[in-house]
Amino acid sequence: MQHGYAYVGNDLQDIYGIDAKIMGEATRLADAYFADGSARAALKTLADHADGVLVSDETVSDFQLHRGDELNLRLQRARDNEYAVVPFRFVGIVREFPTAPKDSFLVANSSYLTSHANASLQWTILIRTHGDPSRLAQDVTRVVAPIGGLTVSDIVSAQRQISSSLSAVDLRGLTFLELSFAVVFVGGATGLALFLSFSERRRAFTILSAVGARQHHLAAFMWSEAITILVGRGIVGICVGSLVAFVLVKVLAGVFDPPPEFLTVPWIYLWLLGSTAVTLTAAGVALHLRKLLRQPVIGDLRSWV
């Protein structure tokens, strides 16, 4: 990966040269980095156009660019260090890129970029390993030791350096407490709603029993009401929760680097939540039905009269 600078009009921007065909093998590029929502498609488009360039949203808005437009950049030439106009082809929009600034930058093919501005570029070689990164860094250091001006670092050292200057908070414990409270809250809310609903209808159930309704008739009334409450409130809860999560991800997209590509659904937690609600609903119906059938109907009717 190469890094340099290019003039877009009077604006000096960072420009990155990459080998689009193998960039995805060296590091993971999030789909959220690109406006089309697919890193693989954006890299393929860039690789298919030797003079292609990916441009940030701000530059596209400032210059009213459309895909396929010719974009003339001024790059410093290798032979005389003078700036010369180099034509590029606008092929897509990039929103984020590793080490790139937040506002305006460019991503182009390294072969095309180095052929016009080799003298002013800084090179970075990314190496992916499945072993110990620090050990690989030591091996690479021994290989490139005779070459001056090179710096070798591994991702663990970079993470340690970044973490030393930041305040980090582990939210797993807080998340566990919040989700546990949600399970208890769902259980309590489901049981309370069902209890109050059946308590309001106790007189109606008693009258039905007095006029000859059998056990399966009463059970049908109770189960239908319980399922209606459970399914109806479950659908409303899922819709409201999904909407709130979607809005939060959109609002907080600028906080994360990279921003989330999609909503993560905790299926195990949702299964636990649903199982708790179904279990408590079934238990509530069974207890109310058992209590209604065991208590004498005449006593309840007299107390209401």
The pLDDT of residue 45: 92
Instruction: With CA atoms as reference, report the closest residue to 46 among 7, 2, 93.
Output: 93
Neighbours of 112 (CB within 10 A): 18
The pLDDT of residue 83: 81
The pLDDT of residue 51: 92
First-to-last C-alpha distance (Å) of the chain: 88
The pLDDT of residue 292: 65
Domain ranges within the chain, ordered by starting residue: 2-126, 172-304
The pLDDT of residue 115: 82
- Tell me the whole-structure pTM to 2 decimals: 0.57
Residue 85, strand partner residues: 74
Q: At 35, phi and psi to the nearest 5?
A: -65, -30
- Burial class of residue 53, CB neighbours in 10 A (0-12, 13-18, 19+): buried
Residue 52, strand partner residues: 89
The pLDDT of residue 54: 94
| Tokens coding 218 | 């009463």
| Tokens coding 27 | 């590091």
- Tell the residue number behind the tokens 């769902």, with chain if given: 186
Per-residue pLDDT reduced to its tens digit, 32-63: 888 877 888 999 999 999 999 999 988 888 88
Q: What would the DSSP string read from start to end of 53-83?
A: EEE-HHHHHHHT--TT-EEEEEEE-TTT--E
The pLDDT of residue 55: 93
The pLDDT of residue 205: 67
The pLDDT of residue 46: 92
The pLDDT of residue 300: 54
Q: What would the DSSP string read from start to end of 98-150?
A: TT--SS-EEEEEHHHHHHHHGGG-EE------SS-HHHHHHHHHHHHTTSTT-
| Tokens coding 79 | 């032979």
Q: Name residues of the chain where pLDDT drops below 50.
A: none
User: Regarding beta strands 11-18 and 105-109, do their DSSP bridges make them parallel or antiparallel, or are they unpaired?
Assistant: parallel
Computed on alpha carbons and rounded to an integer, the radius of gyration of the chain in Å comes to: 32
